[in-house]
Chain A
Amino acid sequence: MRNIFPRWSNTVPLKLIVGLGMVGSVLVAGITYYATPKYTRVGYQPTQPVSYNHEFHAGELGIDCRYCHTGVDKSSHANIPGANVCMSCHQNVKSDSALLEPVRDSYYGEDANKDGKLSEGEDLNGDGILNAGPAIPWVRIHKAPDYVYFNHAIHVNRGISCVECHGRVDQMVEVHHDKHLSMAFCLDCHRNPEKALRPLDEVTNLSWEADLSDHSDPLIAQVHAGLELKENWGVNPPLSCTGCHR
């Protein structure tokens, strides 16, 4: 009888093992990078119906976040401002800019002559009310899954800044998803809140940094400041399911 397999076949097994090992590790690496929120969410930047410029308003003009996002310190939702908020300035500023057309539509609605009063032929659907116009369909960027109950009020009021989850919005012309906001992300902060805690006045100051006077490393400075606040305020973020899942 003769050999069935050629001589070179003897080296195949070894090559196979090495090959599979490499493929496997690439696969794992690929999944951990592409199939996790780090990749799937971060950078999501839809085009909005109105090209609102956060960098300009929040950055240059320095309008406080809470001026528009009124719910953020009272409610679980931060709340997208109604057209009336925009118009409180833009009635005077750039009042006829074409970019603001949707805003004006939404604000005035049936009020054709924009006098705020119900006058002849304005009440189109005849309900005796001066209805507002179509809402501006802002595209949602940050969304926790339905079974996660994130509450803005408690974070903002206990010294967690917007920047922790939303990044430097004051440097974004158009807002994008900056942090991956996975459960691991939440847990990380809930385990060591001192990395994020800051004085209440600085919560909406996205560029704030802990006092560097007696520490060279900003991180160490932050942790020191944070630990003090954590102790004083009795901060004890929940680590168990009930904190976020109900």
Chain B
Amino acid sequence: MSEVMDIKYAAAATFDSAKDLYDAAGKVREKGYKNWECFSPIPVHGLDAQMGYPRSKVPRFTLAGGFTGFFTGMLIVWFMNEFDYPLIVGGKPYFSPIYPFPVFYELTILFAAFGTLFGMFFLNRLPQHNHPVFEHPDFGRTGDDQYMIVIEVEDPLFDDEETLSFLESVGGESVQIIREPID
């Protein structure tokens, strides 16, 4: 029987242009929905603000990575050339913040880069290969030329009829419920 076969995940509506999506998104936010998301083939400018998203937190990871890198570098060089086995090389000092600077510098960048990428993954909860939204029949087109708004069932304001009609009212097409099969 169907109702045990799958569970409701969310209501979805598609749009044809960035503008439509943009405007609709504004309305959805004003309506006060919380658990909802826009899908678009490109990063639509200003959509974050429109959806009421704060600034991304990726930079914090980058900064952390950078600092780690720099001081790891310094620690390595100091430990190896000054502390553990000091050797007289070209009459130069055992340790100096100057001569090995390229090492600190490169490690800073390396770790910062890792911080950035994995920070992004972490904030986007990636990798996550399985997601209910993929169940939408032509979700694929959101990568191509279609836009979509999805309001999840978890949202306190969610109500089948009302949400669906609301989505239609903001100009959504092929409004429908996304169902997630249980396997």
Contacts and interface: CB of A to CB of B under 8 A. Distances in A.
Chain A in direct contact with chain B (Cβ < 8 angstroms): yes
Contacts of A7: 130, 183
B177 to A, nearest CB: 16
A9 B87 contact: no
Contacts of B88: 240
A1 B134 contact: yes
Contact of B129 (A1, A4, A239): A4
Interface string A172-204: 000000000000000100000000000000000
Contact of B87 (A2, A3, A8, A240): A240
Nearest to A14: B127
A3 B130 contact: yes
Interface in A193-246: 239-240
Contacts of A5: 129-130
A10 interface: yes
A6 interface: yes
The range of chain B's interface size is: 10 to 19
B34 interface: no
Nearest to A2: B135
B55 interface: no
A2 B131 CA distance: 10
B135 A6 contact: no
Contacts, number: 33
A128 interface: no
A89 to B, nearest CB: 47
Interface in B118-150: 127-131, 134-140
Interface in A1-53: 1-10, 13
Contacts of B127: 10, 13
B16 to A, nearest CB: 19
A4 B127 CA distance: 14
B136 A1 contact: yes
Contacts of A6: 130, 183
A8 B130 CA distance: 8
B129 A10 contact: yes
Contacts of A3: 130-131, 134-135
Interface in A85-129: none
B138 A1 contact: yes
B128 A1 contact: no
A36 B135 CA distance: 55
Contacts of B85: 187, 239
Contacts of A2: 134-135
Contacts of B135: 1-3
B121 to A, nearest CB: 9
B87 A1 contact: no
B113 to A, nearest CB: 18
Nearest to A13: B127
Interface of B: 85, 87-88, 127-131, 134-140, 183
Interface of A: 1-10, 13, 187, 239-240
Q: Which 8 A-B pairs have the closest CB atoms?
A: A5-B129, A3-B134, A7-B130, A9-B129, A5-B130, A13-B127, A3-B130, A10-B128
Given A1-B136, A2-B135, A4-B129, 20 more contacts: A1-B134, A1-B135, A1-B137, A1-B138, A1-B139, A1-B140, A2-B134, A3-B130, A4-B134, A7-B130, A7-B183, A8-B130, A9-B130, A10-B127, A10-B129, A13-B127, A187-B85, A239-B85, A240-B87, A240-B88
